[in-house]
Structure 1
Amino acid sequence: MSTTDASRPAAGRFYRKELVALLDHCVRVPLTLLLAPAGAGKSTLLSQWQSGGESRAVVSLNLRPADDDPVRFLRRFAERTRAVVPAFDTSWFMPFDVAELPPSSIADALFDALEQVREPLFIVFDDFQHIRSPETLSVISTLLNQPPADVHLIIASRTQPSFDVSRLRLDDAVVEIGAADLKIRREEVTALNEGLGGTALDEGELAHLLTITEGWMAGVKIALLAAMRSGMQTLQDFDASQPELMEYFGHAVLKGLPDTARTLFMQSSLLDSFSAELCDQVLQSDRAARLIEELTSRELFLIPVPGKPGWYRYHALLKDFLRARVAIDMPDCIAPIHRRATRYFVRQQNFRQAVWHAKRAGDDSLFIHCLEQAFDYWLREGYTAHILDWAETLPDSVILSRDELSAPLISTLTLSRRFFRARYYLDALKEATRTGEAAWGNHARVIDFLEMHLQLFQHDTDFMEGANLSLLMESSGHRDIRAFSLAMVAYYHLQHGRLESALAFSCQARDVLLRLGHHFTAGYAGLITALANHQLGHIGEAVAFINEHFHGTSRDCPTWSLWATGMVVVLYDQNRLEEAQQLCEDLLPMVSSASATEVISTVYLTLSRLQHLQGKQKPSERMLEKLLGILQLGNYQRFVNMAVLEMMRQAFTTGHWARLDAVAERFDLAGWVAENAARTPPTYSQSWERKGLAAAYWLIANGRLAEAEAVLQRLLAVVKAAGIMTRASIIEANLLVITGKGLSASEQAKRVDELITRYGLLNINRSVFDEAPGLASLMQRLWGSGALMLPDFYTELFPSVFDAAPANDPLAVDPDSVLTPKELEIFELLQSGLSNAHISEKTGTSVTTTKWHLKNIYSKLGVSSRTEAVLRAAPR
Structure 2
Amino acid sequence: MATPDTPAPGRFLRTGLVNLLAQSAEVPLTLLLAPAGAGKSTLLNQWQEHSGPAYVVRMNLYPPDDDPVRFLRRFAEKTRAAVPAFDTSWFMPFDVAELPPASIADALFDALQQVTAPLFIVFDDFQHIHSPETLSVIDALLAQPPDDVHLIIASRTPPGLNLSRLRLDDRLLEIGMDALRIQPEEVQRLSHCLGGEPLADDVLARLMTITEGWIAGVKIALVASQRSGMQTLQGFDASQPEIMEYFGHAVLSGLPEVARTLFMQSALLDTFNATLCDDVLQTDRAARLIEELASRELFLMPVSGQPGWYRYHTLLRDVLQARLAIEQPDCVAPIHRRATHFFVRAQNFPQATWHAYRCGDQALFIDCLENAFDYWLREGYASHILGWAEALPDELILRHDRLAAPLISTLTLSRRFFRARYYLDALKATPRSSASDDDDPARVRDFLELHLQLFQHDTDFMAGADLSLLMENAGQRDIRAFSLAMVAYHHLQHGRLESALAFAWQAREVLLRLGHHYTAGYAGLIIALANQQLGHIGEAVAFIVEHFHTTARDSPVWSLWATGMVVVLYDQNRLDEARQVCEDLLPMVSSASATEMISTVYLTLSRLQHLEGRQQASGRMLEKLLGILQLGNYERFVSMTVLEMVRQALTGGQWQRLDAVAERFALADWAHDNLAGPLPPYSQSWERTGLAAVYWLVAGGRSQDAIALLQRLLAVVKKAGIRTRASIIDANLLVLTAKHLPPPEQARGVEALITRYGLMNINRSVFDEAPGLSPLMNRLWADGTLALPEGYTQLFPAVFTATPAQPPLDADPDAVLTPKELEIFTLLQNGLSNAQISERTGVSITTTKWHLKNIYSKLGITRRTDVLLRTPPR
Q: Say whether the fold is shared (TM-score over 0.5).
A: yes
Query: Is contact 1:703–1:833 with CA below 8 Å preserved after alignment?
Result: no
Shift of 1:441: 6.8
Indicate the SS of the match to 2:391: coil
Asked which structure has the greater CA Rg, the reply is 1
Which residue of structure 1 lines up, in the alignment, with residue 402 of structure 2?
A: 404
Shift of 1:259: 3.3
Comparing 251-260 and 329-338, the one that deviates more: 251-260
Q: For each residue in 1:311-361, what CA deviation from the matched residue of structure 2 results, as whole angstroms up to 9, or x when unmatched?
A: 222233333333233333433321111011001111111110000001111
Output the CA distance in 1 between the equivalents of 2:280 and 2:124. Answer: 41
Comparing 306-315 and 616-625, the one that deviates more: 306-315
Output the CA distance in 2 between the equivalents of 1:497 and 1:631. Answer: 21
Q: For each residue in 1:152-198, what CA deviation from the matched residue of structure 2 results, as whole angstroms up to 9, or x when unmatched?
A: xxxxxxxxxxxxxxxxxxxxxxxxxxxxxxxx996999xxxxxxxxx
Q: For each residue in 1:360-418, what CA deviation from the matched residue of structure 2 results, as whole angstroms up to 9, or x when unmatched?
A: 11111111111111111111111111111111121111111110111011111101111
The AA in structure 2 aligned to 1:462 is: D
The AA in structure 2 aligned to 1:829 is: T
Query: Is contact 2:18–2:43 with CA below 8 Å preserved after alignment?
Result: no
The AA in structure 2 aligned to 1:631 is: L
Which residue of structure 2 lines up, in the alignment, with residue 14 of structure 1?
A: 16
Output the CA distance in 1 between the equivalents of 2:458 and 2:41. Answer: 61
Pairing of 1:234-253 with structure 2 (within 5 A)? 243=241, 246=244, 249-250=247-248
Indicate the SS of the match to 2:587: helix
Which residue of structure 2 lines up, in the alignment, with residue 364 of structure 1?
A: 362
Indicate the SS of the match to 1:206: strand
Corresponding residue to 2:514 among 504, 509, 516: 516
Which residue of structure 1 lines up, in the alignment, with residue 155 of structure 2?
A: 208
Which residue of structure 1 lines up, in the alignment, with residue 727 of structure 2?
A: 729
Structure 1 residues 453 and 703, CA gap change in structure 2 (3 angstroms): same
The AA in structure 2 aligned to 1:520 is: Y
Which residue of structure 2 lines up, in the alignment, with residue 829 of structure 1?
A: 826
Structure 1 residues 594 and 245, CA gap change in structure 2 (3 angstroms): farther
Output the CA distance in 2 between the equivalents of 1:725 and 1:293. Answer: 65
Comparing 202-211 and 426-435, the one that deviates more: 202-211
Which residue of structure 1 lines up, in the alignment, with residue 744 of structure 2?
A: 746
Q: For each residue in 1:680-707, what CA deviation from the matched residue of structure 2 results, as whole angstroms up to 9, or x when unmatched?
A: 4442110000000000000001110000
Query: Is contact 2:772–2:872 with CA below 8 Å preserved after alignment?
Result: no
1:413 aligns with 2:411: yes
Which residue of structure 1 lines up, in the alignment, with residue 488 of structure 2?
A: 490
The AA in structure 2 aligned to 1:370 is: C
Corresponding residue to 1:689 among 687, 690, 707: 687
Output the CA distance in 2 between the equivalents of 1:648 and 1:508. Answer: 39
Shift of 1:257: 3.5
Output the CA distance in 2 between the equivalents of 1:185 and 1:351. Answer: 32
Query: Is contact 1:702–1:834 with CA below 8 Å preserved after alignment?
Result: no
Shift of 1:247: 6.4
Indicate the SS of the match to 1:14: helix
Structure 1 residues 816 and 256, CA gap change in structure 2 (3 angstroms): farther
Which residue of structure 2 lines up, in the alignment, with residue 777 of structure 1?
A: 775
Structure 1 residues 45 and 319, CA gap change in structure 2 (3 angstroms): closer
Comparing 832-841 and 687-696, the one that deviates more: 832-841
Question: Percent identity of the aligned residues?
Answer: 67
Pairing of 1:501-540 with structure 2 (within 5 A)? 501-540=499-538
The AA in structure 2 aligned to 1:739 is: T
Output the CA distance in 2 between the equivalents of 1:301 and 1:220. Answer: 23
Query: Is contact 2:667–2:693 with CA below 8 Å preserved after alignment?
Result: yes
Shift of 1:587: 1.5
Output the CA distance in 2 between the equivalents of 1:188 and 1:347. Answer: 34
Output the CA distance in 1 between the equivalents of 2:655 and 2:43. Answer: 70
Corresponding residue to 2:609 among 611, 615, 636: 611
Indicate the SS of the match to 2:843: coil
Shift of 1:433: 2.1
Number of aligned residues:
684
Shift of 1:291: 1.9
Query: Is contact 1:702–1:838 with CA below 8 Å preserved after alignment?
Result: no
Which residue of structure 2 lines up, in the alignment, with residue 178 of structure 1?
A: none
Unaligned runs of 5+ in 2: 8-12, 23-36, 47-119, 126-138, 143-149, 160-174, 183-208, 215-219, 221-238
Which residue of structure 2 lines up, in the alignment, with residue 442 of structure 1?
A: 440
The AA in structure 1 aligned to 2:827 is: L
Structure 1 residues 830 and 205, CA gap change in structure 2 (3 angstroms): closer
Q: For each residue in 1:248-284, what CA deviation from the matched residue of structure 2 results, as whole angstroms up to 9, or x when unmatched?
A: 8548965744333333222212111111111011011
The AA in structure 2 aligned to 1:423 is: R
Query: Is contact 1:222–1:244 with CA below 8 Å preserved after alignment?
Result: no
Query: Is contact 2:582–2:601 with CA below 8 Å preserved after alignment?
Result: yes
Indicate the SS of the match to 2:484: helix
Which residue of structure 2 lines up, in the alignment, with residue 326 of structure 1?
A: 324
Pairing of 1:840-855 with structure 2 (within 5 A)? 845-846=843-844, 849-850=847-848
Query: Is contact 1:460–1:636 with CA below 8 Å preserved after alignment?
Result: yes
Output the CA distance in 2 between the equivalents of 1:503 and 1:716. Answer: 22
Which residue of structure 2 lines up, in the alignment, with residue 292 of structure 1?
A: 290
Indicate the SS of the match to 2:301: strand
Output the CA distance in 1 between the equivalents of 2:176 and 2:274. Answer: 31
Indicate the SS of the match to 1:434: coil
Q: For each residue in 1:790-843, what CA deviation from the matched residue of structure 2 results, as whole angstroms up to 9, or x when unmatched?
A: 1122111111111234xxx7558968799x989975664337869899976998
Corresponding residue to 1:676 among 674, 677, 700: 674
The AA in structure 2 aligned to 1:406 is: A
Structure 1 residues 677 and 320, CA gap change in structure 2 (3 angstroms): same
Indicate the SS of the match to 1:599: helix
Which residue of structure 2 lines up, in the alignment, with residue 548 of structure 1?
A: 546
1:665 aligns with 2:667: no
Indicate the SS of the match to 2:16: coil
Output the CA distance in 1 between the equivalents of 2:792 and 2:568. Answer: 16
Shift of 1:590: 1.8
Structure 1 residues 278 and 774, CA gap change in structure 2 (3 angstroms): same
Which residue of structure 1 lines up, in the alignment, with residue 639 of structure 2?
A: 641
Structure 1 residues 689 and 224, CA gap change in structure 2 (3 angstroms): same
Query: Is contact 2:647–2:692 with CA below 8 Å preserved after alignment?
Result: yes
Structure 1 residues 45 and 580, CA gap change in structure 2 (3 angstroms): closer
How high is the TM-score relative to the length of structure 2?
0.71
Query: Is contact 2:424–2:449 with CA below 8 Å preserved after alignment?
Result: yes
Corresponding residue to 1:558 among 556, 559, 565: 556
Unaligned runs of 5+ in 1: 21-36, 47-183, 190-200, 213-218, 235-239
Which residue of structure 2 lines up, in the alignment, with residue 426 of structure 1?
A: 424
Indicate the SS of the match to 1:554: coil
Shift of 1:439: 6.7
Output the CA distance in 1 between the equivalents of 2:749 and 2:808. Answer: 28
Query: Is contact 1:812–1:861 with CA below 8 Å preserved after alignment?
Result: no
Shift of 1:208: 3.3
Corresponding residue to 2:393 among 392, 395, 406: 395
Corresponding residue to 2:753 among 752, 755, 765: 755
Query: Is contact 1:703–1:834 with CA below 8 Å preserved after alignment?
Result: no
Q: For each residue in 1:566-592, what CA deviation from the matched residue of structure 2 results, as whole angstroms up to 9, or x when unmatched?
A: 111111111111121122122122223
Output the CA distance in 2 between the equivalents of 1:719 and 1:44. Answer: 61
Query: Is contact 1:648–1:694 with CA below 8 Å preserved after alignment?
Result: yes
Shift of 1:510: 0.6
Output the CA distance in 1 between the equivalents of 2:316 and 2:863. Answer: 72
Output the CA distance in 2 between the equivalents of 1:288 and 1:770. Answer: 63
Indicate the SS of the match to 1:392: helix
Which residue of structure 2 lines up, in the alignment, with residue 140 of structure 1?
A: none
Shift of 1:288: 1.2
Output the CA distance in 2 between the equivalents of 1:262 and 1:776. Answer: 76
Structure 1 residues 852 and 466, CA gap change in structure 2 (3 angstroms): farther
Q: For each residue in 1:28-66, what CA deviation from the matched residue of structure 2 results, as whole angstroms up to 9, or x when unmatched?
A: xxxxxxxxx9989999999xxxxxxxxxxxxxxxxxxxx
1:317 aligns with 2:315: yes
Shift of 1:787: 1.2
Q: For each residue in 1:415-473, what CA deviation from the matched residue of structure 2 results, as whole angstroms up to 9, or x when unmatched?
A: 11110010011111111223788679711001000000000000000003233434531
Which residue of structure 2 lines up, in the alignment, with residue 144 of structure 1?
A: none
